[in-house]
């Protein structure tokens, strides 16, 4: 059961500075009351760290609610998943979803992994434990805050990206769209038709990959499999304003979904446009967080 209840009033923010290896430093409490705590832009809403039990073990998730979220009616919910050994604090700071949530009026939930990563395997003795936990978190949040069940989305970085694909496969009735960043769709390579695990209808997908990422070829191969499984048309390729080496392909699919693939030629394993000092690449020429929300905001679960 949960450790304490959600509130959209002022709460204590647990600020855990992430070490270089992704391990958190001791917690420092800071009051969040809607006023910036520094000269830099700060989210105006409330963030709370909560726990649910996962097979008898406590497991953390953080919830961010913009100001006056209760007054606006059912709101979209974006679930954000970290990469291997990425602390939730680093995920929140790098992606910047909280500030965008203030502007656009959606809820954000950051879900911690177990033992530093997710079981995102779509074959080979993988489990659905992480899928079940994410669904339990969504239900827990929806019990306290006004969540629109037709506008629930998932975004993730690296291992969290692969996990967002797994959520799309294992819980398509929950998610309207997913946004894997620097991570791929990895079905069983030994299956006679690995693309067959793409659900029908499938959640829409927006994904990002860097040309200097060691996983670049695998990420693109995974998107091709996903398009095949969803019965997509041949993608339309176009350049993206903002710099050299930026491109996007977009495909409409037979089941009514959309697949958009952004590539950044010179980017490594990173979050495009994310804050510097972690896994973000502020010089990528793209703002992945904004593009993800712009994509999500047009979609509802079918």
The 10s digit of each residue's pLDDT in 111-137 is 999 999 999 988 877 889 999 999 999
Give the pLDDT score at 23: 34
Mean pLDDT confidence for 79-86 = 97
The C-alpha atoms of residue 142 and residue 216 are separated, in whole angstroms, by 36
Residue 210 near residue 266 (C-beta atoms within 8 A): yes
Question: Strand pairing of 236-239 and 246-252?
Answer: antiparallel
Average pLDDT over the chain, rounded to an integer: 86
Whether residue 77 has pLDDT greater than 80: yes
Mean pLDDT confidence for 262-274 = 97
Give the pLDDT score at 40: 58
Report how far apart, in Å, the C-alpha atoms of 15 and of each of 85, 87, 140, 149 are.
Answer: 17, 11, 23, 30
Mean pLDDT confidence for 221-247 = 94
Whether residue 4 has pLDDT greater than 80: no
DSSP secondary structure, 34-89, as one string: SS-SSSS---SSEEEEEEEEETTEEEEEEEEE-TTGGGS-SEEEEEEE--TT--HH
The C-alpha atoms of residue 247 and residue 227 are separated, in whole angstroms, by 18
Whether residue 43 has pLDDT greater than 50: yes
Residue 118 near residue 158 (C-beta atoms within 8 A): no
Give the pLDDT score at 20: 30
Where are the strands (E) in 132-281, listed by range?
147-157, 177-181, 204-210, 236-239, 246-252, 258-264, 271-272, 280-281
- Encode pLDDT of 19-36 as tens digits: 233 333 333 223 222 333
Give the pLDDT score at 15: 24
**Domains in the chain, CATH or no CATH each:** 11-192+279-296 (3.40.50.1820)
- Encode pLDDT of 54-74 as tens digits: 988 899 999 999 998 877 789
Give the pLDDT score at 68: 85
- Encode pLDDT of 238-253 as tens digits: 999 877 899 999 999 9
Give the pLDDT score at 83: 97
The C-alpha atoms of residue 282 and residue 157 are separated, in whole angstroms, by 15
Least confident of 38-42, 136-140, 144-148, 194-198: 38-42
- Encode pLDDT of 164-196 as tens digits: 999 999 999 999 999 999 999 999 888 889 999
What's the pLDDT band for 8 if we cut at 50, 70, 90?
very low
Give the pLDDT score at 273: 97
Q: Which of 166, 235, 164 is nearest to 197 (CA)?
A: 166
Strand, coil or helix: 209: strand
Burial code (b: 16+ CB inside 10 Å, e: under 16) for 1-24 equals ebeeebebeebebbbbebeeebee
Burial code (b: 16+ CB inside 10 Å, e: under 16) for 225-256 equals bbbebbbbeebeeeeeeeeeebebbbbbbebe
Whether residue 272 has pLDDT greater than 90: yes
The C-alpha atoms of residue 201 and residue 230 are separated, in whole angstroms, by 8
Query: Would you state the structure tokens that stand for residue 58, as one six-digit string?
Result: 């406590």
Least confident of 96-100, 158-162, 240-244: 240-244
């Amino acid at each position: 059961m949960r450790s304490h209840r959600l509130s959209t009033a002022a709460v204590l923010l647990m600020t855990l500075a992430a070490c270089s290896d992704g391990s958190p430093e001791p917690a420092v409490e800071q009051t969040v009351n809607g006023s910036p705590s520094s000269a830099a832009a700060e989210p105006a809403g409330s963030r709370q760290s909560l726990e649910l039990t996962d097979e008898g073990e406590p497991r953390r998730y953080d919830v961010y609610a913009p100001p006056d979220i209760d007054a606006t009616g059912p709101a979209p919910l974006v679930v954000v998943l970290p990469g291997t050994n990425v602390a939730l604090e680093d995920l929140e700071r790098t992606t910047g979803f909280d500030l965008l949530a203030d502007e656009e009026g959606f809820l954000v939930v950051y879900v911690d992994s177990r033992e530093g990563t997710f079981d995102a395997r779509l074959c080979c003795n993988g489990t659905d434990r992480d899928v079940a936990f994410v669904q339990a978190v969504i239900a827990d949040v929806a019990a306290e805050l006004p969540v629109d069940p037709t506008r629930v989305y998932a975004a993730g970085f690296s291992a969290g990206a692969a996990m967002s694909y797994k959520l799309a496969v294992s819980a398509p009735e929950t998610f309207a769209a997913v946004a894997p960043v620097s991570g791929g769709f990895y079905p069983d390579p030994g299956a006679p038709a690995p693309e067959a695990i793409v659900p029908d209808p499938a959640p829409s997908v927006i994904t990002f990959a860097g040309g200097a990422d060691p996983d670049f070829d695998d990420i693109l191969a995974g998107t091709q499999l996903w398009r095949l499984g969803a019965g997509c048309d041949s993608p339309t390729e176009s350049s993206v304003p903002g710099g050299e080496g930026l491109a996007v392909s977009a495909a409409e699919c037979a089941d009514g979904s959309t697949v958009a693939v952004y590539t950044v030629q010179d980017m490594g394993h990173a979050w495009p446009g994310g804050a510097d000092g972690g896994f973000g690449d502020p010089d990528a020429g793209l703002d992945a967080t904004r593009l993800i929300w712009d994509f999500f905001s047009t979609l509802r679960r079918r």
